[in-house]
Amino acid sequence: MATIIDGKRISSEIRESLRKEVELLKSQGMQPGLAVVIVGEDPASQTYVRNKAKACEDIGIYSEKYELDASITQHQLLEKIDELNSDSRIHGILVQLPLPKGIDEQAVIERISAEKDVDGFHILNAGKLLVGQKGFVPCTPAGVIEMIRRTGVSMAGKHVVVIGRSNIVGKPVSILALQENATVTICHSKTNNLHEMVKMADIVIAAVGRPQMITGDMIKDGAIVIDVGINRVDGKLVGDVNYKEAEEKASFITPVPGGVGPMTITMLLQNTVEACKRTNNI
Ligand SMILES: NC(=O)C1=CN([C@@H]2O[C@H](COP(=O)(O)OP(=O)(O)OC[C@H]3O[C@@H](n4cnc5c(N)ncnc54)[C@H](OP(=O)(O)O)[C@@H]3O)[C@@H](O)[C@H]2O)C=CC1
Ligand SMILES: Nc1nc(=O)c2c([nH]1)NC[C@@H]1CN(c3ccc(C(=O)N[C@@H](CCC(=O)O)C(=O)O)cc3)C=[N+]21
Ligand SMILES: [Mg+2]
């Protein structure tokens, strides 16, 4: 039986200390501000955006939400970003992905000033992460590493197997694990023998987007299992890991919901506070 890594509990601990930090900044006339931009009416995106706004309010971060019509042109979206780039109340800008077809996501991300890119998706922040310089680290990968850290198990020398190689989860979390001195294997849809790869892992990080594809027989006894997947099946949220099977084998495991999801939002809050501090040379 595995110990649960409780993302909600860890999140409330971190948010409590962020709340104090925000209070102090506000008392010095500096309130961190986040702008969230959402294009179109994807219901899942709207849930996340609502959660983000509520989380900001909870800890005293100023937030603005822009709900733009799906028919907006790329040019109009870029103009909105320019406006937010030069707004001194706004320290962090998040454009909810995915964007409607016809809009070049990378062009939009690149338009956000790197200093306000609290998602850590801008090419400058991606480059900084790769070479080990201080920038903004993507929120989900940062949350994953924080959860592993809190198990008390050092990643040094451990075999971390990541399933998924997206720019927002798989690749950056792999780089972070490497920085923690893990030996890292990255798997994807063209990987041969996924089963054998995962079976070798001391730490499994699943970021695939396929409900319960990581089954119990793929997990080595005593492994740490981090489930990034968010899949809606018959109206219920399930991860990429078959939780029931995996928890029989794992030493530590994250649940879905209540695992990586809340940590993602917490890291977004942390990056926004950090962006405000950097702007003010703190
Ligand atoms: N908890 C949170 O806060 C967050 C959760 N998520 C969730 O995490 C999951 C991954 O998200 P994201 O990285 O954006 O997803 P993407 O769809 O961008 O990437 C999925 C990756 O999984 C790989 N893959 C797909 N099928 C298989 C397979 N059968 N075997 C092995 N690898 C496979 C793909 O390989 P290839 O590159 O070859 O196509 C790709 O690299 C989703 O469920 C998403 O909802 C995402 C962001 C935040
Ligand atoms: N620019 C951008 N940045 C993102 O960080 C980003 C994005 N676009 N697009 C979509 C993905 C997905 N994502 C989640 C955030 C929180 C939860 C979360 O809070 N999940 C809760 C449950 C929420 C629910 O009930 O639906 C949980 O797992 O407990 C999930 C997923 C951020 N993403
Ligand atoms: Mg994606």
**Span 77-90, average pLDDT:** 98
**Span 220-241, average pLDDT:** 97
The atom of ligand 1 lying closest to the CA of 260 is 1
Specify the pLDDT at position 60: 98
Which of 18-22, 48-52, 120-124 comes out lowest in average pLDDT?
48-52
Specify the pLDDT at position 1: 86
pLDDT at 49 over 90: no
Cβ burial of 131 (10 Å; 0-12, 13-18, 19+) is exposed
- Give the residue with greater pLDDT, 190 vs 45: 190
Alpha-carbon distance values, 210 to 112, 193, 234, 253 (Å): 31, 17, 14, 18
246 pocket-lining for ligand 2 (C-beta < 6 Å): no
| Half-sphere CA count of 84, side-chain side, radius 13 A | 30
pLDDT at 243 over 90: yes
In 12-128, the DSSP E strands lie at 33-39, 62-68, 92-95
Q: What structural domains does the chain harbor?
A: 29-113 (3.40.50.10860), 139-261 (3.40.50.720)
Q: Determine the Cα–Cα distance for residues 217 and 224; give it in Å rounded to an integer.
A: 14
Q: Determine the Cα–Cα distance for residues 88 and 80; give it in Å rounded to an integer.
A: 14
Q: Determine the Cα–Cα distance for residues 25 and 44; give it in Å rounded to an integer.
A: 33
237 pocket-lining for ligand 1 (C-beta < 6 Å): no
**Residue 46 C-alpha from the chain's centroid:** 17
Specify the pLDDT at position 273: 98
Give me the phi and psi of 110, to 5 degrees please.
-65, -25
Q: How confident is the model at residue 45 (pLDDT cuts 50, 70, 90)?
A: confident
Q: How confident is the model at residue 184 (pLDDT cuts 50, 70, 90)?
A: very high
pLDDT at 42 over 90: no
pLDDT at 41 over 90: no
pLDDT at 164 over 90: yes
Specify the pLDDT at position 44: 81
- Among candidate residues 80, 116, 119, 240, the one labeled active-site is 119
First-to-final CA distance of the chain:
45
State pLDDT tens for residues 101-150.
999 999 999 999 999 999 999 999 999 999 999 999 999 999 999 999 99
Q: How confident is the model at residue 68 (pLDDT cuts 50, 70, 90)?
A: very high
- Among candidate residues 52, 80, 158, 220, the one labeled active-site is 52
pLDDT at 24 over 90: yes
Specify the pLDDT at position 43: 82
In a mutational test of the pocket of ligand 2, which residue from 168, 230, 237 has the highest number of ligand atoms less than 8 Å from its CB? 230
269 pocket-lining for ligand 2 (C-beta < 6 Å): no
- Provide the 10 A C-beta neighbour count for residue 44: 10
- Sheet of strand 33-39, all strands in order from the earlier edge strand to the far edge: 62-68, 33-39, 92-95
pLDDT at 47 over 90: no
pLDDT at 183 over 90: yes
Look up the pTM and report it.
0.98
Q: Determine the Cα–Cα distance for residues 106 and 240; give it in Å rounded to an integer.
A: 26
ipTM: 0.98
Our answer to whether residue 96 is catalytic in this structure is yes
Our answer to whether residue 133 is catalytic in this structure is no
The atom of ligand 1 lying closest to the CA of 139 is 3
Number of H helices, E strands in the chain: 10, 11
- Provide the 10 A C-beta neighbour count for residue 178: 15
What rounded mean pLDDT belongs to the chain?
Answer: 97
Which of 220-243 are b and which e, b meaning 16 or more Cβ less than 10 Å from the residue's Cβ? Answer: beebbbbbbbbbeeeeeebbbbbb
Q: Cis (ω within 30 of 0) for the bond into 98?
A: yes
207 pocket-lining for ligand 1 (C-beta < 6 Å): yes
Q: Determine the Cα–Cα distance for residues 264 and 143; give it in Å rounded to an integer.
A: 6
Specify the pLDDT at position 227: 99
